[in-house]
A = this chain, B = another copy of it.
Amino acid sequence: KPYRIAVIPGDGIGKEVMPEGLRVIEAAAKKHGVAVQFDHFDFSSYDYYEKHGQMMPDDWKAQIGSHDAIYFGAVGWPAKIADHVSLWGSLIKFRREFDQYVNLRPVRLMPGVPSPLAGRKPGDIDFWVVRENTEGEYSSVGGRMFPDTDREFVTQQTVMTRTGVDRILKFAFELAQSRPKKHLTSATKSNGISITMPYWDERVEAMAKNYPGVKWDKYHIDILTANFVLHPDWFDVVVGSNLFGDILSDLGPACTGTIGIAPSGNINPERNFPSVFEPVHGSAPDIAGQGIANPIGMIWSGAMMLEHLGEKTAAQAIVGAIERTLAERTLRTRDLGGNADTEACGKAVAEMVD
């Protein structure tokens, strides 16, 4: 029985990089005897919104809820549609309603990608950011009082539940335990955010007891961001709340040269619901339609998807092909100083898959 993948290209360059992602998955699936079936959906896009007045059909959960995974391009078009409509109407909905409580992103310096950090080489930076993806600072609890007066004030709550905190920590500790260095770093700010963050610290300490083989430490988020720049080699698995994880998983890829090639997974580890795999870059209206977008983030997200489905060998074959492609100047896209267009780069990766 093939894996059933819901394919959602979305907006802008999402539509351009998606074919390359599919091409490479097909190549790897063929080589490694993995059966996949792609089902295409046009919703979760501005085009769909324009026609139907909403981002997704009412029965979106029925349409994609029983797939094995969702392969997602990009959504949003700030000039045409507000973020809170496009993003909260699709991406954030997936995260919440499919209980994708893990947001997972690799931070890895790749060959051929110049590091903005002086003197760092491929191999020097190689860690994972594990972000809590459903609660924390992204609650919708709060409000405004005394509007339009001098006494006006606005509040919003950060909400941390025992269930929510423990399950993301468990995922992060398990991941750390599976890695050679077995090292976990927790992002906190308990010296300033005096109620929720000490609770986070407390749960980290409790969870650590279950993983005696994992060395762990914690840093306040301010100095942690500084250490991403000054000592990126210190990290192996970094876990943070929804907001801190969001920050670290943009900063980390930036430290490895570009967020243009970074992949991500929005994961429900229990597989009660499909997980979403998408490149970190957005729809990029400024370069959309030119066929020059870098497809590596989309392709790498495909590798993460195969890994999640249990197809480790096929996944690793794709990552290896990405590395070999990036190493060749002529096969890289222009944003990385190459001269390949989106399709040429995607085809190169597909051919490199072994």
Residue positions of A touching B, CB distance < 8 A: 83-84, 87-88, 114-119, 137-138, 140-144, 149-163, 189-196, 199, 221-223, 225-227, 229-230, 242-243, 246-247, 249-251, 253-255, 258-259
In the complex, what residue of chain B is closest to A244 when comparing beta carbons? B247
| Docked-complex contact B229 and A249, CB < 8 angstroms | no
Give the contacting residue for A251; candidates B117, B119, B225; CB below 8 A: B225
Interface of A is mostly: mixed
State A142–B250 Cα separation when bound (angstroms). 29
Give the contacting residue for A154; candidates B142, B154, B160; CB below 8 A: B160
| Docked-complex contact A156 and B193, CB < 8 angstroms | yes
| Docked-complex contact B156 and A152, CB < 8 angstroms | no
> Which residues of B sit under 8 angstroms from A119, Cβ to Cβ?
118
| Docked-complex contact A230 and B116, CB < 8 angstroms | yes
In the complex, what residue of chain B is closest to A82 when comparing beta carbons? B191
| Docked-complex contact B243 and A229, CB < 8 angstroms | no
| Docked-complex contact A155 and B157, CB < 8 angstroms | yes
State A125–B96 Cα separation when bound (angstroms). 40
Q: A151-B162, A161-B153 are in contact. Are A222 and B251 (CB under 8 A)?
A: yes
| Docked-complex contact A222 and B193, CB < 8 angstroms | no
A and B contact pairs by CB, cutoff 8 A, 15 listed: A84-B191, A87-B191, A116-B117, A116-B118, A117-B118, A117-B229, A142-B158, A144-B195, A153-B159, A154-B195, A154-B199, A155-B158, A155-B196, A156-B195, A230-B254
| Docked-complex contact A193 and B137, CB < 8 angstroms | yes
> Which residues of B sit under 8 angstroms from A221, Cβ to Cβ?
243, 246-247
Q: In the complex, how many angstroms separate the beta carbon of A197 from the nearest chain B beta carbon?
A: 8
State A194–B138 Cα separation when bound (angstroms). 7
In the complex, what residue of chain B is closest to A148 when comparing beta carbons? B162
State A243–B246 Cα separation when bound (angstroms). 14
Q: A117-B117, A118-B115, A254-B225 are in contact. Are A243 and B193 (CB under 8 A)?
A: yes
Q: A156-B158, A193-B156 are in contact. Are A249 and B230 (CB under 8 A)?
A: no
